[in-house]
């Protein structure tokens, strides 16, 4: 981490969206209920609605068990809501699709494939020509700093390196939206900080729409343009906060007054049940 600067971060207005512009992601009155073994009903999500404009980095933050990951899985099409609808690029989600890239907390690489082969896996399935695949894979290997490890297998990589491959693999398919489910949650604190810096750099270059799940307040503020604060289950959107800190960002910002103010605000939202609505 670099030295802490003495100046406050530059503040900006939230991302402006044309009044009639369709959101890249629209979640509309989504609820999710499960049948319990005893024959009852468990409500994980209740009437959740929000929108994410194109190129915005949106973050879902909330306590464990509030339905953050469930909402991400619904958006990925890996599960179906009990009621409500989800749209990506104006198209209703009715199952998994190449328009959504997913990065999980666990390491999901194919161990029998090299780093390069993992990244090009989706491209090969889509029939992308060999020369184009080579260019795309080379670009993302360079973006995530793994060009020297292109021919290594996952067992030869650290946890942070495996997540770099997962990010590169997701982006190589050029999805409309990147869904990230606490991707750095299993990493040690130092590697986590390094991965946050890497993701900031990669996102600045790609400007992909992102929906990122975390329970870490610092991570949410550092990465996000907009933060959806969720309350305890049944999961609901408790508050929507715009992050008025200009990009590009760096880890020094965690010591700045505006960052600390937002951190305090989110902390109170997560721990003050009286503010639930």
pLDDT digits (tens, 9 = 90+) for 167-221: 999 999 999 999 999 999 989 999 999 999 999 999 999 999 999 999 999 999 9
* Average pLDDT along the chain: 89
- The tens digit of pLDDT for each residue in 2-45 reads 433 333 444 443 444 444 567 999 999 999 998 888 878 888 99
d(CA 29, CA 46): 8
Q: How is residue 187 written in tokens?
A: 């990493």
pTM score, whole prediction: 0.88
CATH 3.40.50.300 maps onto the chain at: 25-99+177-275
As a whole number, mean pLDDT of residues 236-262 equals 92
Of the candidates 131, 28, 110, 20, the one whose C-alpha atom is nearest the C-alpha of residue 75 is 28
d(CA 75, CA 54): 15
- Give residue 273's pLDDT: 57
- Give residue 241's pLDDT: 97
Burial of 109 (0-12, 13-18, 19+ CB in 10 A): buried
As a whole number, mean pLDDT of residues 220-246 equals 93
- The tens digit of pLDDT for each residue in 125-166 reads 999 999 999 999 999 999 999 999 999 999 999 999 999 999
- Give residue 34's pLDDT: 87
d(CA 249, CA 222): 7
Q: Which of the pair, 14 or 122, is modelled with greater confidence?
A: 122
- Give residue 79's pLDDT: 93
Of the candidates 111, 245, 66, 96, the one whose C-alpha atom is nearest the C-alpha of residue 170 is 96
Name the strand (E) or helix (H) holding 100: strand 100-103
What is the fold of 25-99+177-275? Rossmann fold (3.40.50)
């Amino acid at each position: 981490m670099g030295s802490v600067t003495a100046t406050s971060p530059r503040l900006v207005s939230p991302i402006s969206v044309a009044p009639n512009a369709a959101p890249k992601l629209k979640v509309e009155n989504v609820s999710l209920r499960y049948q319990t073994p005893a024959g009852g009903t468990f409500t994980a999500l209740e009437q959740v609605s929000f929108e994410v404009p194109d190129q915005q980095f949106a973050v879902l933050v909330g306590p464990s068990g509030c339905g953050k990951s469930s909402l991400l899985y619904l958006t990925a099409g890996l599960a179906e809501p009990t009621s409500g609808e989800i749209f990506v690029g104006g198209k209703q989600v009715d199952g998994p699709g190449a328009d959504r890239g997913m990065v999980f907390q666990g390491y999901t690489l194919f161990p029998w494939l090299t780093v390069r082969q993992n990244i090009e896996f989706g491209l090969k399935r889509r029939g992308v020509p060999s020369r184009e695949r080579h260019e795309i894979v080379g670009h993302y290997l360079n973006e995530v700093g793994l060009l020297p490890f292109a021919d290594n297998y996952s067992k030869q990589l650290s946890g942070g390196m495996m997540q770099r491959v997962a990010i590169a693999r997701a982006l190589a398919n050029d999805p409309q939206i990147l869904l990230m489910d606490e991707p750095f949650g299993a990493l040690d604190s130092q590697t986590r900080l390094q991965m946050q810096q890497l993701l900031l750099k990669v996102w600045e270059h790609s400007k992909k729409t992102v929906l990122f799940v975390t329970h870490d307040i610092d991570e949410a503020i550092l990465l996000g343009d907009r933060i959806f604060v969720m309350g305890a289950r049944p999961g609901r959107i408790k508050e929507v906060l715009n992050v008025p800190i200009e990009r590009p960002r760096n880890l020094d910002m965690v010591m700045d007054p505006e960052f600390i103010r937002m951190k305090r605000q989110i902390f109170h939202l997560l721990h003050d049940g009286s503010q639930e609505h």
